[in-house]
Amino acid sequence: MDDSNTVVITGMGAVSPYGAGVAALWEGLSSRKNCIHTVKELEDLPMVNTKVAATVPETDYSFIPRKHRRSMSRMGLYAYCAAQEALRHAGYETAPEKLGFFMGSTLNSISVWMELAGYSQGAHLELIKTSDFLQIMNHSPLAAVCQALKINGPAMGGSEACATGLMNIGLGYMAIRQGLVEQAICGGTEEYHPMFSACFDIMQATSKNSNDNPAAACRPFDASRTGLVVSEGCGLVFMETKKSAQQRGVPILAEVLGFYANTDTDNMAYPSAETLRKCMAGALEAAHIKAEEVNLLNAHATGTVAGDIAETQAAHAVFGPSLKINSLKGHLGHTMGASGCLESIACVNMLTAQQILPTNNLTQVDERCAPLHYQTQVSNTPLNIIMKNSFAIGGNNCSLLFRRPQ
């Protein structure tokens, strides 16, 4: 088989509520370490029902030169750390020539925007600094990391809310397959602000029954779930052609087999199982594989009532009842634009470890969710192919397939 344009992953970088690094992410997920906590700002807002979130531990970022740091809000700082880790993991100390960079976020820094809004409301626009603007452009994290790490290939970012991270892996995959670039860093980044929780709360999509027990707040597929827990972080993967990786002699972590994306035009916020089914089926077709070859579906499953039902019904229609399925949002919360990539990194690690991580806080499957093999315990099992789903408010769906290196 001609695999000259096969796309592989050779590096990964993560910043998550478990801290900086892929190792911290994997250790936290594997040990089911709790990272969800009460947020004081939410406690002070009586109209907001959810009081919990997951945030990246406080970190001193002064090791990043000020000249570059001035253009980075928190999500930019996360992206810098993740990109550097992904580069090093792929065997580079500095970015190779023409490296592509595909990354986005749901929103830009709400904190910095709030500061600017304060200047505007107080009629003190003269207080705006250039660094404020450099931090709140839609592509600020992308641009700032390119400047800092001298990434000089095409840099562009899809921004599709909760699907951003996986969409950008797909974008990078297509760019490599089409020959636009030979190597690219891809993923998503996001920083938490209580406004996120408040907005999802208004849409009745947040977890609200476990405020006194944050560790149990996010419960994908569980009968008692009430919604998602907002989180933050950055996930990035280093992708390249298999040929490039082989020429460089670096270990291949996983192959990207196929990608598909579609849009649900029925409703901005309520997913249609049929559109999700088409998305997953489209990914299988793009990868030229059969449903039965997929060993695990790492679901988007944020723990919302409607979303989990629609996704499992769609998965059942595509794969049948024997499908193994898990979600990592019970551990991590919903890292928004970073989720598709942080969870993809976990998928790659699951392939490497030949181990399926369970869904945290899943004690009783909602009977409205389709009958599937819900993973509730760590399972050591042969794993060859994992499908990863990410779906966004707005109806933007994508599915991507990872395979263990052949």
Partner 1 sequence: MITREEIIKQTNEALKKEFEFTDEQLISTAQLRDDLGLDSLDAVDMVVVLEQKFGVTLRQGYDLRTIVTLNDLYDFIEKLARTHQ
Task: Give residues in contact with partner 1 (CB under 8 A).
Answer: 62, 66-67, 70, 126-131, 134
Task: Name the β-bridge partners of 8.
Answer: 240, 255
Query: In this structure, how many other beta carbons lie within 10 angstroms of the beta carbon of residue 153?
Result: 19
Q: Which is nearer to partner 1, 127 or 378 (CB)?
A: 127
Shortest distance, position 122 Cβ to partner 1, whole Å: 13
Q: Which is nearer to partner 1, 59 or 131 (CB)?
A: 131
**Measured between alpha carbons, how far is 312 from 247 in angstroms, rounded to an integer?**
41
Shortest distance, position 116 Cβ to partner 1, whole Å: 13
Shortest distance, position 129 Cβ to partner 1, whole Å: 4
- CA-based nearest residue to 51, from 239, 199, 206: 206
Q: Which is nearer to partner 1, 134 or 229 (CB)?
A: 134
Shortest distance, position 48 Cβ to partner 1, whole Å: 34
Residue with tokens 């001298």: 150
Q: Which is nearer to partner 1, 133 or 270 (CB)?
A: 133
Q: Which is nearer to partner 1, 131 or 376 (CB)?
A: 131
Shortest distance, position 76 Cβ to partner 1, whole Å: 15
Q: Show the CA angle centred on residue 349, arms to residues 353 and 276, nearest 5°.
A: 120
Q: Which is nearer to partner 1, 121 or 377 (CB)?
A: 121
**Measured between alpha carbons, how far is 316 from 310 in angstroms, rounded to an integer?**
10
Shortest distance, position 131 Cβ to partner 1, whole Å: 6
Shortest distance, position 105 Cβ to partner 1, whole Å: 23
Shortest distance, position 28 Cβ to partner 1, whole Å: 32
Q: Which is nearer to partner 1, 128 or 202 (CB)?
A: 128
Alpha-carbon radius of gyration of the chain = 20
Q: Which is nearer to partner 1, 75 or 134 (CB)?
A: 134
Phi, psi torsion values for 166, nearest 5 degrees? -75, -35
